[in-house]
A and B are shown apart, each in its own frame.
Chain A
Amino acid sequence: MWRYVGRRLVHAIPTLLGASIIVFAMVHLAPGDPISAILPVDASKEQIDDIKKAYGFDKPLPVQYLKWLGRVVQGDLGKSIATRRAVILDVRDSLANSLVLAVSSSVLAFGAGIALGLLAAFRQGRALDKIASAMAVIGVSVPHYWAGIILIIIFSVQLNWLPAMGAASDGGLVAYLRHMILPTIALALIPLGVIARVTRSAALDILNQEFVLALRAKGLAHRRVFGHVVKNAAPQIITVLGLQFGFQLGGSVLVEAVFSWPGTGYLLNLAIFQRDMPVLQGVILVLATFFVLLNLLVDVLQTYIDPRIARH
Chain B
Amino acid sequence: MSVIALPQELSTVAGAPRSYWRTVAWRLARERATLTAGTLLLLIALSAVLAPWIAPHDPSAGAIRLRLAPVGTPSHLLGTDEQGRDMLSRLLWGGRMTLVAGLTPVVVAFLMGTLLGVIAGYTGGLANTLVMRTMDVFYAFPAVLLAIAISGALGPGLPNTLISLSIVFVPRVVRVAESATVQVKGLEYVAAAKASGASVWQILRYHLLANVLGPVLVFASTQVSLSIILAAGLSFLGLGVTPPAAEWGLMLNTLRQSIYVNAVVPALPGLAIFVTSMAFNLVSDGLRDAMEIRA
Does B69 belong to the interface (CB within 8 Å)?
Answer: no
CA distance A288 to B144 in the complex (A): 11
Question: How many Å from the CB of B269 to the closest CB on chain A?
Answer: 8
Chain A residues near B280: list those with CB within 8 A: 141
Q: Is A253 touching B141 in the complex (CB atoms < 8 A)?
A: no
A44 → B minimal CB distance (Å)? 25
Sorting the interface of chain A by its residue count into under 10, 10 to 19, 20 to 34 or 35 or more gives 35 or more
Beyond A149-B267, A257-B236, is A29–B150 a contact (Cβ under 8 Å)?
yes
Residue from B237, B252, B260, B267 within 8 A of A272 (CB atoms): B237
Q: Is the interface of A mostly helix, strand, loop or mixed?
A: helix
Please report which residues of chain A, range 231-250, place their CB below 8 angstroms from some CB of chain B when the two chains form the complex. 246-247, 249-250
- Which one of B153, B225, B238 lies within 8 Å of A140 (CB-CB)? B225
Q: Does B144 contact A15, Cβ atoms closer than 8 Å? A: no
Q: Is B140 an interface residue (CB 8 A)?
A: yes
The reply on B6 being an interface residue by CB < 8 A is: no
Is B273 close to A, CB under 8 A?
A: yes
* Interface residue ranges of A285-308 to B (CB < 8 Å): 287-288, 291-292
Contact of A15 among B137, B256, B273, B285 (CB under 8 A): B137
Given contacts A15-B136, A22-B137, A146-B273, contact A30 B144 (CB under 8 A): no
Return chain B residues, CB-CB under 8 Å to A157.
259-260, 263
How far does the Cβ of B155 sit from chain A's closest Cβ, in whole Å?
Answer: 6
Tell me the residues in window 256-279 of chain B with beta carbons closer than 8 Å to chain A beta carbons. 256, 259-260, 263, 266-267, 269-271, 273-274, 277-278
Q: In the complex, what distance in Å separates the CA atom of A30 from the CA atom of B256?
A: 29
Q: What residues of chain B lie closer than 8 Å to A251, measured between beta carbons?
A: 142-145
Please judge, given known A-B contacts A23-B149, A137-B282, A143-B232, whether A253 and B140 are in contact too, CB under 8 Å: no
- In the complex the two chains form, what is the Cα distance from A10 to B103 in whole Å? 37
Tally the A-B contacts, defined by beta carbons under 8 Å: 141
Q: Is A29 in contact with B153, judged by CB distance below 8 angstroms?
A: yes
Given contacts A19-B137, A280-B152, contact A137 B281 (CB under 8 A): yes
Tell me which of A18, A141, A146, A284 contacts B145 (CB under 8 A).
A284
Over the window 151-195 of chain A, the binary record of Cβ atoms lying under 8 Å from chain B Cβ atoms (1 yes, 0 no) is: 011000110000000000000000000000000000000000000
A258 CB–B CB distance under 8 Å: yes
Chain B residues in 8 Å Cβ range of A132? none
Taken together as a complex, chains A and B put the C-alpha atoms of A269 and B236 apart, in Å, by 11
- Is B144 within 8 A of A149, CB to CB? no
Residue on B nearest A14 in the bound complex, by CB: B133
Asked whether A153 lies within 8 Å of B144 as measured between CB atoms, the reply is no
Return B30 CB to nearest CB of chain A, in Å: 16
**B152 surroundings in chain A (CB, below 8 A):** 26, 271-272, 280
B278 near A138 (CB under 8 angstroms)? yes
Q: Which of B134, B263, B274 contacts A158 (CB 8 A)?
A: B263
Neighbour of A247 across the interface among B144, B153, B237, CB < 8 A: B144
Is the beta-carbon distance between B136 and A26 smaller than 8 angstroms?
Answer: no
Q: In angstroms, how far is the closest chain A Cβ from the Cβ of B283?
A: 11
Please judge, given known A-B contacts A143-B232, A254-B144, whether A30 and B154 are in contact too, CB under 8 Å: yes
Alpha-carbon distance between A115 and B25 when the two chains are bound, in angstroms:
34
Chain B residues near A250 (CB, 8 Å)? Answer: 141-145
CB distance from A55 to the nearest CB of B (A): 15
Q: How far is the CA of A247 from the CA of B153 in the complex (A)?
A: 21
Question: CA–CA, A74 to B277, complex, Å?
Answer: 43
Say whether B145 contacts A145, CB under 8 Å: no
Q: Is A27 in the interface zone, CB < 8 Å from B? A: yes
Q: Which residue of A lies closest to B280 (CB)?
A: A141
Cβ 8 A contact of A257, one of B237, B277, B285: B237
Tell me if A16 is interfacial: C-beta within 8 Å of chain B.
yes
A211 near B: Cβ within 8 Å? no
Of B149, B236, B256, B274, which contacts A142 at CB under 8 A?
B274
B145–A31 contact, CB under 8 A?
no
- Of A19, A149, A152, A292, which is within 8 A of B252 by CB? A149
On whether A143 and B277 interact (CB within 8 A), knowing A253-B148, A254-B144, the answer reads yes
Contacts A272-B152, A280-B152 given; does A146 touch B144 at CB 8 Å = no
Q: Given the complex, which residues of B lie within 8 Å of A145, measured CB to CB? A: 233, 236, 252, 270
Q: Smallest distance from the beta carbon of B256 to chain A beta carbons, Å?
A: 6
Task: Please state if A288 and B140 are interface contacts (CB–CB under 8 Å).
Answer: yes
Query: Do A247 and B141 touch across chains, with their CB atoms under 8 A apart?
Result: no
Chain B residue contacts of A144, Cβ below 8 A = 229
Inter-chain CA distance A287–B152, complex, in Å, is 15
Q: Is B290 an interface residue (CB 8 A)?
A: no
Verify if A2 is at the interface (C-beta below 8 Å from B).
Answer: no
**Contacting A137 at CB < 8 Å: which of B140, B252, B259, B278?**
B278
Contacts A258-B256, A284-B148 known; list 10 others, CB within 8 Å.
A14-B137, A18-B136, A26-B149, A31-B154, A137-B278, A140-B281, A143-B273, A153-B266, A250-B145, A287-B145
Listed A/B pairs (13) with beta-carbon separation below 8 Å: A16-B140, A18-B140, A19-B137, A31-B154, A141-B225, A141-B277, A146-B270, A146-B271, A157-B260, A250-B143, A250-B144, A280-B149, A291-B141
